Structure 1
Amino acid sequence: MSTHDEADAEAAELVETIDPGDVADGASFVTVCIQRWWNAGPEEQKRMWQIFVETGIFVAVCRHGFMLYICDMIQSGELAKYELALTDKLINVYGSNLCIGYDIGCTFSSTVSSSPLLAPKAHATNLRFVVPSFHGHAHNRRCQLDWHPLYITDAGLEDFEACESVFSFSNLVAATVCNATAFHRHQAIEELFKYWDEQKYANLSR
């Protein structure tokens, strides 16, 4: 079998079901990329959804590392509704020709295309998704050729991995907000990222 045939066969692997609200909802089929995405989230992690109301944050960060938007994930993991809401907000505020990096952007683009509310807006504004550089190597070869920023001319030298730095930094307050009230949790997160943005702004001139 040739290299292209192997890539086609790998990309065509399907799974039987898609969990409601998953980022793959709306896709015509699910490739090995989304299967690996699911495998990265162990089942044991879902137990915390029954313990905590807010189970994490979903963020949008610009290429310079500045925090744009934050939303709570409520008793769930990363569902499509969070990314759909943030994508809609980004289009409304920043307009056309956006390029958004998302871990499973290859499949999520199909979710956006099947959204009756967001699809026309995404098409009209020339919205583009890519798979971040580091995460891209967990995707199959055919996917990388279409979605990895290394092969996208307009992406330049950007790696689209700014969110990973944000999440690493946010671990500083993770232990302190687990049992906090909603108000104090939001206050701690807001103060943390206010400091984060100040540091990023100061570094722009260096």
Structure 2
Amino acid sequence: MRVPASVLDRCGGSFHAADEKRQKASTQSFADTGLMALLCCHDCVLWSVNMTSAGEKQHYALVLVKHLFDHLPAKMTVGLLYDIGCQLEHSCQKWKILDDGILSRLKFGISVFHAYGHQWPCQLVYHPCKCVGFGLSDGEGCE
């Protein structure tokens, strides 16, 4: 990990999106509670999934990432900007969610707007303007 696990644990506790118990939508009235999309660097939708459970759970993002890698050449590297990218990487490392063939080709970052709310080390390590390869991408096309 590029940031100590203790910092990531503290960082994760400070965000509503990282709190899977927090519900913004109810499943009592609607089958779908939201929509999550995977966009390219030009903000064009590649794939989207209907969210069917309350709370922003990481498995929606992970299934999109896995689907993306199913369609990419085996040597291609991907930069992933996500609101809580530091937490997604932490989960992948801690629980071995994605195989090493994917993790070794995946560079995590935090969308610019969300980077300012993160703990200091996460801002420094995951901010796209401070990560090699992201250029001026801000990750805010889906917002």
Residue 116 of structure 1 deviates from its aligned partner by 4.2
Q: In the alignment, does 2:57 pair up with 1:79? A: yes
Aligned counterpart, 1:180: none
Instruction: Report 1:140-159 matches (<5 A).
Output: 140-159=119-138
Whole-angstrom CA distance in 2 between matches of 1:72 and 1:81: 12
TM value normalised by structure 2: 0.82
Residue 149 of structure 1 deviates from its aligned partner by 0.8
Whole-angstrom CA distance in 1 between matches of 2:93 and 2:6: 19
Q: In the alignment, does 2:27 pair up with 1:34? A: no
- How many residues are matched? 137
Instruction: Report 1:128-167 matches (<5 A).
Output: 128-164=107-143
Give yes or no for contact 1:55–1:73 (8 Å, CA) kept in 2. yes
Whole-angstrom CA distance in 2 between matches of 1:80 and 1:44: 14
RMSD (Å) for aligned C-alpha atoms: 2.6
Whole-angstrom CA distance in 2 between matches of 1:135 and 1:89: 25
- Show structure 2 runs of 5+ residues with no match: none
Whole-angstrom CA distance in 2 between matches of 1:56 and 1:39: 13
Larger radius of gyration: 1
Whole-angstrom CA distance in 2 between matches of 1:39 and 1:117: 19
Aligned counterpart, 1:121: 101
Counterparts in 2 of 1:40 and 1:83: CA distance versus 1, 3 Å = closer
Residue 105 of structure 1 deviates from its aligned partner by 0.4
Whole-angstrom CA distance in 1 between matches of 2:52 and 2:130: 36
Aligned counterpart, 2:41: 63
Give yes or no for contact 1:60–1:69 (8 Å, CA) kept in 2. yes
- Show structure 1 runs of 5+ residues with no match: 1-7, 14-28, 165-206
Give yes or no for contact 1:101–1:130 (8 Å, CA) kept in 2. yes
Give yes or no for contact 1:101–1:129 (8 Å, CA) kept in 2. yes
Whole-angstrom CA distance in 2 between matches of 1:105 and 1:130: 5
Q: Structure 1, residues 135-189: CA drift from partner, whole Å, max 9, x if none?
A: 100111111111001211211111111111xxxxxxxxxxxxxxxxxxxxxxxxx
Mean Cα displacement is larger for which, 67-76 or 91-100? 91-100
Q: Which has the higher contact order (CA 8 A, sep 6+)?
A: 2
SS at match of 1:72: strand
Whole-angstrom CA distance in 2 between matches of 1:52 and 1:153: 42
Percent identity over paired residues: 28
Counterparts in 2 of 1:53 and 1:150: CA distance versus 1, 3 Å = same
Residue 34 of structure 1 deviates from its aligned partner by 1.5
Q: In the alignment, does 2:112 pair up with 1:112? A: no
